[in-house]
Structure 1
Amino acid sequence: MVPPIIPIILPIFRCRIDLQNTTAFPNASYDNITIMTTPIDNYGRPVEPCERYNYNETQCQMNSDLSCVNLSSPVIGCDVRVFDESVFTETVVTEFDLVCERNVLRSVGSSMYILGYSIGSILFGNISDRYGRKRTSIVCTVGMILVMVAVAMSPSMEFFIATRFFQGILVIGMNIPIFTHGMEIVGHEWRTFSGMMYHVSFAMGYMTWSLIAYIFRDWHEMQWGMLVLALPLLVVVLIVPESARWLFATGQDEEGQKVTELMARFNKVKLDEEFWKEAQCVSIEKPSYISNRYSTIDLFRGGVIRILTLKVAFSWFVNSMVYYGISLNAGSFAGNIFLNNVYAGIVEILSYVVCTLVMDRVGRRLLLAITLSGAGLALIASTIVNEFAEKNRGLITLGVVFAFVGKALVSGSYAIIYNFTAELYPTVVRSNAVGFGSTCARAGSVLSPFIIDIQDYIRWFPNAVFGSFALVGGLLALTFRDTTGQPMMASMEEARRFHSGKTVRIQDSKDAVGHVTGELL
């Protein structure tokens, strides 16, 4: 979910002081000269690393002291920056000098990734529903690998920004059909596990970045390392068969039957001729939805589906805004960056494991409400504690604990909304629905850093906003119909009846084969 931030991390930097290269101060260290020539705070850190006091180097050489440094005149901008290389030898920031007047390009790079993510969500949600899960996955996986090569070889920041944009498009274009496929290829008793394992893989990837970055301290080498790890995915998407549910839902019964029999043999389930005859007898005529082509617009057709889509959109927006808000703000915590990355991944995995164990017992609707509103309460509690903490170490630690509790809970709710959305919509628009939800989520993630910036003026504002939205989102979750234990719907008509509070009999259509075999897989 969160794009890798290690390659674009901002290391400590300051102005390069030419006096360090002179022989006038043989006993003065670089830090001593920096303190005498740079505005610093009470902790000895540069107040503004892009500025320094003015001085005349020739005069300093002649006087052999630092009286040449004009402490009373206005500071001036750096000529050249010096970056701390104790952790990383090269990052995108240090290579392309993305600080001071060029700092905006760092934000542009992240924004273009998110923009690509948004475009890809809508684009490949439609393509996946129209041309199939497998074809879409193959195209996007090949494209992503090629773009990763281009990113690693970026000769300029402009080229890096462009490739990050296409990377965002292809990453979500690959993820949507893979997630949807994973939900459709299993029976209802395994849907929770399948959906949650998808999110566990994200957390593991997040932690893998720590290992790669620890081994390779240059961002180019990091990219090559991640590329090597991504190559086996291409083999996987090539050998995994198409979704049988999608094949049946689009009228490709012969291909659907082949895939079903293949999966049945793999799971040691025997499907005899009687089974297929019974399935054929369900309906002689093909359902009308088979010949239709659906798009994102269909998510807003009809009152019941339109209201559902608006509620789903808000839920995705809130989950993403709060998740990114906590994740980006947690980056300011002190400690080892590699371990912090691992800890963040562990917190998410624990959250997913707990949700997997209790989701089928508690239900999607109630668990979404509990986790999202619980995250809101934790953030509000953290805000209150921090306001009264001042220099009390115990209260400061308690505030951090509440923040991590909020992160664990919103990680769980974010995973639940993925599963829930896939089950709330029928097969013919399922990828469209997940793609549209992901697009709404990007709006929330874009807003998060701007909300965080306000804490420079109003310290309690970000967590108060995140907490309030999470509470509202948790209450809204109670208005959904629960899908726990329900067979996955195939047609829009089934979805309308379900969300109108009516009983849905999946066997009403020829697509019953897809649902029956889904329970066997």
Structure 2
Amino acid sequence: MEGTSLQELDAVLVALRPWGRFQVFQLFLVFVDLFPAAFAILSAVFTGYIPEFTCLDVENGGNLTVGRKYEVNDDQCSYGVYSVHENLSTLLETKQCTNFSYNYAFTYATEWGLVCGRSNLAALAQSLVIVGQGIGAITTSHLADRVGRKTVHVISHLGILATMGVMAVSSNIYMLLALRLVAGTFQQGMVCTGKILALEIFPRKQRSHIEAITFLAWSFGIMALTLIGWLFQSVDWRYLQLALATCSLYALFQWWMMDESMRWLISNGRIKEAKHILKKAARWNNVDYAKVEAVFDEHVRVKSTMDRPLVLVNGKAKYTRTEKNSADIKGNKTQMKNEKAAATVEKYTVIDILRNPALRANTLILWYSWIVATGTYYGLILVSSHLAGDRFINFFLSGAIEVPSLTLEFYLFNKIGRKRTMILWFAVAAINLVISTVILTVFPGVRAAAIVATGFSLVGKSASTGSLSTVFLYTPEIYPTNYRNSGLGIASSISRIGGLLAPFASNLALIAMWIPGAIFATMCLIVVLLAMRLPESATHELPATIAECETWERHGWLRRDSEDAAA
């Protein structure tokens, strides 16, 4: 084993028993955390719901006074003032309605009159949370690679608790908008670090299951939000907001329940802390710690900076590997010497990643895939919101329809790999978008055709969930440990471009019904073609350095292809 490497840490995790009580409890914490993460983003669906309304400025839609007549327009946002002379009426002016009656009056949209000319403020509440997600994905993920996954995760959860609670006492829409922006920032701190924490405590064969499980938590969060929203539908929105905030109260004690990632600790030279967690895990899993420690000492080595020559790289002092130094370390059989020596900590930025030709190509492909996956996912959510029927049932189904594709991933990820699963989901999403669009275009207004098109749209929604889940798993797997959280965060941040563009796609449908489907389908097909260039990550342990990523790129995926051919 050459230099500082975590490539064999999987052997330690296997010796620890992958599905032991320790790992299951840590995974459970991440699983539960994704419920308030979903609440933070999607709560406005119910707290800010805009019901049907009527203009009260002119009662009963029209009124006749001496020489004047008032008629409300169909949009209920304005009314015309007519001069009446005998049987002839002439429009004098059009006035905007200022008073409204609602058929449901328990949301902040009705409290602050966010209809007609102020409806843009209601839309801004969702747009700002997406902007906040973009900010949080970059900032919190970078911090997580510097100060630790656990620290950022717990602070972000406490931030969600605070902002969700304060929203309930918002005095005006502008205060709520500011809090929505902050909530989006903290939400990404929870999601990105949570997924990395869950990913890094399991060995290679279990990683695919972990991504499917954590994404299922998001889907169940959508369904749970629907249930809570339904239970609180007859009371003011502030009580619903408080109920959602209380779901994060356990964040006050989470610091003492959650453990830091051992991979991150080892990569940052904190061997003593890593061993302390390892000892705790062995106790929880009822495994002999002495045997686990022996595997750790055999497979995980951290090279001392004293044994490595100092050179300048891009103006910064860095220690390099040499064959002699590597041999010296291999000859060191005691972990005590490793711990006494200052461990090498290799930090990376996005500039380091983009300077590497192989990682640069993979990164650009993944960024585009994230944009398409997010745009398609949220674009199809907007379609589901227009389905006829009860709004609670429709929203519940939008979460339930994600379960089949995520369940299928338990089989696909390890059977055909991440790369082929990614290609499959994007292809299925594209095909179903095309079919649904064609049906709606060729058979406009036909109820049977609309039902069939809805079916294809739901299958496309399920496939888009699978594509988003796959890029969530694949992205951190191709990056080194001290860039893994940043890599996922930056990709997630860039994906907000797709989220921001998705609402505009529904406006294009007003021009021609086939345009949004054609755009998303084309973008998905481009991902299918680009993804062919990506390496397979299913057969590799998580890399610790850029050098290990390069080795994987040059040899790993070629070996995978040869193994597939032999099989």
TM-score range, shorter chain: 0.7 to 0.9
1:252 aligned onto 2:291: no
1:8 maps to which of 31, 45, 48: 48
2:139 maps to which of 112, 123, 128: 123
The structural deviation recorded for 1:68 is: 11
**Is the contact between residue 203 and residue 348 of structure 1 (CA under 8 Å) also seen in structure 2?**
yes
**Is the contact between residue 200 and residue 261 of structure 2 (CA under 8 Å) also seen in structure 1?**
yes
Matched residue SS, 2:248: helix
1:182 maps to which residue?
A: 198
Q: TM-score, normalised by structure 2?
A: 0.79
**Is the contact between residue 133 and residue 188 of structure 2 (CA under 8 Å) also seen in structure 1?**
yes
**How far apart in 1 are the matches of 2:500 and 2:216?**
23
Moved more, 293-302 or 135-144: 293-302
Question: In the TM superposition, what are the counterparts of 1:70-109 in structure 2 within 5 Å?
Answer: 72=91, 75-85=94-104, 89-109=105-125
For structure 1, list consecutive stretches of 5 or more residues without a partner in the other structure. 26-35, 40-46, 60-66, 506-521
The one-letter code sitting in structure 2 at the alignment partner of 1:438 is S
1:497 aligned onto 2:551: yes
1:368 maps to which residue?
A: 422
1:137 aligned onto 2:156: no
2:441 maps to which residue?
A: 387
CA spacing shift, 1:455–1:504, aligned 2, 3 Å: closer
1:54 maps to which residue?
A: 81
The one-letter code sitting in structure 2 at the alignment partner of 1:451 is A
Question: In the TM superposition, what are the counterparts of 1:328-477 in structure 2 within 5 Å?
Answer: 328-477=382-531
CA spacing shift, 1:74–1:474, aligned 2, 3 Å: farther
1:311 aligned onto 2:365: yes
- Bigger proportion of residues as strand: 2
Q: Could you list the per-position Cα deviations for residues 311-355 of structure 1 after superposition, in whole angstroms to 9, with x for gaps in the alignment?
A: 110111110010011001221111101111111111012221111
2:238 maps to which residue?
A: 220
**Is the contact between residue 53 and residue 69 of structure 1 (CA under 8 Å) also seen in structure 2?**
no
The structural deviation recorded for 1:9 is: 2.1
Aligned length: 478
CA spacing shift, 1:266–1:97, aligned 2, 3 Å: same
CA spacing shift, 1:398–1:251, aligned 2, 3 Å: same
The one-letter code sitting in structure 1 at the alignment partner of 2:182 is F
**How far apart in 2 are the matches of 1:178 and 1:463?**
33
Moved more, 294-303 or 484-493: 294-303
**How far apart in 1 are the matches of 2:255 and 2:354?**
32
Q: Could you list the per-position Cα deviations for residues 25-69 of structure 1 after superposition, in whole angstroms to 9, with x for gaps in the alignment?
A: 9xxxxxxxxxx9333xxxxxxx3220123369xx9xxxxxxx999
Q: Could you list the per-position Cα deviations for residues 149-203 of structure 1 after superposition, in whole angstroms to 9, with x for gaps in the alignment?
A: 1111111111011111111101101211111000001122221121111111111
Q: Could you list the per-position Cα deviations for residues 393-413 of structure 1 after superposition, in whole angstroms to 9, with x for gaps in the alignment?
A: 221111111111100001011
1:231 maps to which residue?
A: 249
1:162 aligned onto 2:184: no
**How far apart in 1 are the matches of 2:516 and 2:155?**
40
The structural deviation recorded for 1:128 is: 0.3
The structural deviation recorded for 1:19 is: 3.7
Question: In the TM superposition, what are the counterparts of 1:36-51 in structure 2 within 5 Å?
Answer: 37-39=71-73, 47-51=74-78
Matched residue SS, 2:54: strand
CA spacing shift, 1:359–1:24, aligned 2, 3 Å: same
Q: Could you list the per-position Cα deviations for residues 85-105 of structure 1 after superposition, in whole angstroms to 9, with x for gaps in the alignment?
A: 1xxx32121111112221221
Superposition RMSD in Å: 2.8
**Is the contact between residue 117 and residue 439 of structure 1 (CA under 8 Å) also seen in structure 2?**
yes
Matched residue SS, 2:101: strand
Question: Identity, % of aligned pairs?
Answer: 25
**Is the contact between residue 315 and residue 417 of structure 1 (CA under 8 Å) also seen in structure 2?**
yes
Matched residue SS, 2:397: helix
1:266 aligned onto 2:312: no
CA spacing shift, 1:306–1:23, aligned 2, 3 Å: closer
The structural deviation recorded for 1:308 is: 1.3
**How far apart in 2 are the matches of 1:193 and 1:220?**
37
**How far apart in 2 are the matches of 1:359 and 1:179?**
17
The one-letter code sitting in structure 1 at the alignment partner of 2:485 is S
2:353 maps to which of 299, 309, 332: 299
**Is the contact between residue 371 and residue 474 of structure 1 (CA under 8 Å) also seen in structure 2?**
no
1:278 maps to which residue?
A: 298
CA spacing shift, 1:214–1:302, aligned 2, 3 Å: same
**Is the contact between residue 57 and residue 98 of structure 2 (CA under 8 Å) also seen in structure 1?**
no
**How far apart in 1 are the matches of 2:226 and 2:302?**
53
**How far apart in 2 are the matches of 1:388 and 1:21?**
37
2:537 maps to which residue?
A: 483
For structure 2, list consecutive stretches of 5 or more residues without a partner in the other structure. 1-37, 309-318, 321-342, 560-567
Matched residue SS, 1:435: helix
The structural deviation recorded for 1:232 is: 2.5
**How far apart in 1 are the matches of 2:258 and 2:141?**
19
